[in-house]
A and B are shown apart, each in its own frame.
Chain A
Amino acid sequence: MKSFGKKSPWSALKKALATTAAAAGVALGGAAQADDTIKIGFGMALTGGLAGAGKGALIAMEVWRDDVNARGGILGKQVELVYYDDQSNPATVPGIYTKLLDIDEVDFVVSGYGTNLIAPAMPIMMQRGLVFPALFGLAVNEKFNYDNYFQIMPAGPEPMTDWSRGFFEIAMAQDPAPKSIALVSADAEFARNAATGARQTADKLGLEIVYDESYHPKTADFSPIVNAIQARKPDIVFVASYPPDSVGMVKAVNEVGLKTRLFGGGMVGLQFASIMTALGPQLNGIVNYDFWVPEPTLKFEGVEEFLVKYQKAAEGKGVDPIGYYLQPYAYAYLQVLDQAIAATGSMDHAEIGKYMRDAEFDTVVGKVRFAPNGEWAKTRVLQVQYQGIEDNELATFTKQGTRVVLYPAEWVSGELNYPYAQ
């Protein structure tokens, strides 16, 4: 009878030795690799509700990696990105960063996209004293007060109120100035923070808040909310919403025929190509925040070259094909880290953190300097107005003049069409 599966002790020993040698080879190879690479780790929303932005950010970061490696790396070392899908789920974040630091042994970590996914990583960063460049979190450091936190979103030193400051300054500059406001926000972290800031500013300006409500993220029809706002006849309406809600809100406003002088403020999603092309002319007149638009006042050095590379890399990947909103900033927060490592010539987080607090950085989103709380030293949350949109073509939104900048003053590129609807 033939025997299956039985091996001699000698062959078993040979196999064990070979396996051990192979494992050692991998470990040694890894060590050798670790010496000539800089590993940057992060979690990113590649699935789930935030994946539209998260995947776009990842492509931008890969463009940066390729650019840096092509010019010879940082401190002569090639850059490697190590990342995991956080599934848009904050509960996954502590596990991901612990693995990145303890198992993958990355040299630096940066945040994933969005307030909800930055905050859960903060305790780990603070515990280990790590430099933490962050991507689009609103007022995350308000409660942590961590000195090595650096936020690339240009909210400004008082992020909650700076976020909507432009919307209110535009409104109050009109004659007659508005006297009442409606506030409506999604019941989620970012939108709550944005609405809190808007509420504080409205109180400070003496505006009467005639409607102040939040809604559940699964709301499918916004016409009851818009009808309720319409019944209170507010002079201006500030909305803090997420992409599907922003679409529902804009559609409901057009269907109901909301009459108010200024509408918009903090609507996420109206900057995305897929949503702009879906809504088309329904966007006209809305004044909303943005971070980069193709206006002549915002042609920072390198931004257009970056966008060409991004747009090529994004082809066929089911992400935003033009990448104006988040993508330049996803490139820029790695540029900041790159410049800080190169300038200090060090991998020491304390030294790099000190440099980042003091220095000014040249990036594709312009010059960046951080305030002591890690936010931009000066706000640059743009308020733009959608104007002259007559179709749903993507090319329309790549043209100058369809989203004119109204705020801040130094970046203004057009004039407000006022009122929104009477």
Chain B
Amino acid sequence: MFTVDLLLSALVAGVLLGGFYAAVSLGLTVAFGQLNIVNIAHPAFVILGSYVAYMCNSRWGLDPILVGLAFTPVFFLIGVGAYRIYYESFERRDDEALRGLAFFFGVMFIIEVGLIMVYGVDFRTVQAPYIGQNFKIGAVGVPTRMLVPFCVSLVMFACVYLYMSRTFNGRAIMAVAQDRLALQLMAADPVRIKQLGFGIGIGTTALAGALLIIIIPIEPSIGRLYIGQVFAIAVLAGLGSIPGTLVAALVLGIAESLVATFFGPSWAPAVAFGILLLALAFRPQGLFGR
């Protein structure tokens, strides 16, 4: 069944969903794409961000997005610490390929089990004025539960993009995995630069986690569902490209929404990953890769 209203609704839903996917994937683009660190624990950090938002929302009624923003520096420091352990234990000894992967698997399980021990296994949600609201533009409904995360995601992307493209440290982060020597010749310490980059990547998960719990209820292991999705977006984007991540996330979101609306939701993940395969076949460097 095809109607213009249905098409417009599917496009709007896809764009909003893509914005959310982008927020969740941004940190991985920095860590995996720019720093060449396979942070498999990325979704677990997102879930940690969700639980922080939940805790502050349920105890003090604080807005989850404000909580996410407030905790971004804390998560940044956690990221800096995690990278320092990773560097001293693996990267410095050129052991990062397999052992580094195992390290992040371990971090993922520690976060998951820690959350179970503190919060149990029940589903958690947050309350905010914009959850459950809806407005219409013509015949197309726009749920604020999806619109607010979309807008926050765009702002987060703009901030990270401007930092990466306009500052010396940002450009150094983009360069560090490509040419450490050149970076050293510019008087920048590659380890400190990677530490900064990884901190930024983990810092984004505080806000991404807050956006996640606005959209769906969470429990400690739910991050595992999204591992494939976030890596697919980072790869489709062209490893390391921040605008590419936004575009790739929007492409996947719109594709999933259109397919779910017109062909059936069971095809949605297959089509999304089909796009990834096609992109890799015809443009192996990804949409925005060089």
Contact = CB atoms under 8 A, between A and B. Distances in A.
Interface of A: 46-49, 51-52, 54-55, 88, 184, 187, 213-221, 223-225, 227-228, 231-232, 243-244, 247-248, 251-252, 254-257, 269, 272-275, 278, 282, 317-320, 392
A324 to B, nearest CB: 14
B-side interface mostly: helix
A217 B228 CA distance: 13
B182 interface: no
A213 B266 contact: yes
B124 A223 contact: no
Nearest to B8: A227
A48 to B, nearest CB: 5
B143 A223 contact: yes
A255 B141 contact: yes
A248 B146 CA distance: 11
Given A215-B268, A225-B265, A319-B121, 9 more contacts: A46-B121, A220-B17, A220-B215, A224-B14, A224-B260, A227-B13, A243-B217, A273-B122, A275-B125
Contacts of A243: 123, 217
B120 interface: yes
Interface stretch (B82-90, B95-103, B111-119, B237-245): B111-119
A47 B113 CA distance: 8
Closest 4 CB pairs of A and B: A318-B120, A51-B121, A215-B265, A278-B125
Contacts, number: 147
B257 A221 contact: yes
A227 B10 contact: yes
B257 A52 contact: no
B137 interface: no
Contact of A255 (B3, B134, B222): B134
A67 B53 CA distance: 40
Nearest to B24: A220
Contact of B121 (A47, A223, A224): A47
A319 B269 CA distance: 31
13 contacts: A219-B260, A220-B20, A223-B141, A223-B146, A224-B13, A224-B260, A244-B216, A244-B218, A247-B217, A248-B216, A251-B145, A254-B132, A318-B118
A184 B260 CA distance: 12
Contacts of A255: 132, 134, 141, 143, 145
Contact of A221 (B16, B127, B141, B222): B16
Nearest to A256: B141
A244 B3 CA distance: 29
Contacts of A256: 134, 141
Contact of B112 (A46, A47, A275): A47
B159 interface: no
B122 A272 contact: yes
A244 B217 contact: yes
A252 B256 CA distance: 16
B261 interface: yes
Nearest to A87: B221
Interface residues of B, number: 50
A284 to B, nearest CB: 13
Contact of A49 (B221, B229, B256, B261): B221
B262 A48 contact: no
A216 B269 contact: yes
B268 to A, nearest CB: 6
A213 B267 CA distance: 10
B185 interface: no
Given A46-B121, A215-B260, A257-B141, A221 B221 contact: no
B281 interface: no
Contact of B219 (A49, A216, A221, A320): A49
B9 A223 contact: yes
A46 B141 CA distance: 39
Nearest to B21: A220
B186 interface: no
Nearest to A317: B120
A219 B261 contact: no
B269 A48 contact: no
A47 B221 CA distance: 8
A278 B141 CA distance: 22
B164 interface: no
A208 B17 CA distance: 32
A223 B261 CA distance: 9
A48 B223 CA distance: 10
B225 interface: yes
B226 interface: yes
A312 to B, nearest CB: 16
B106 interface: no
Contacts of A228: 1, 6, 260-262
Most chain A CB within 10 A, of B122, B141, B222, is at B122
A117 B120 CA distance: 21
Contacts of A54: 121
Contacts of B116: 47, 51, 318
Most chain B CB within 10 A, of A224, A243, A274, A392, is at A224
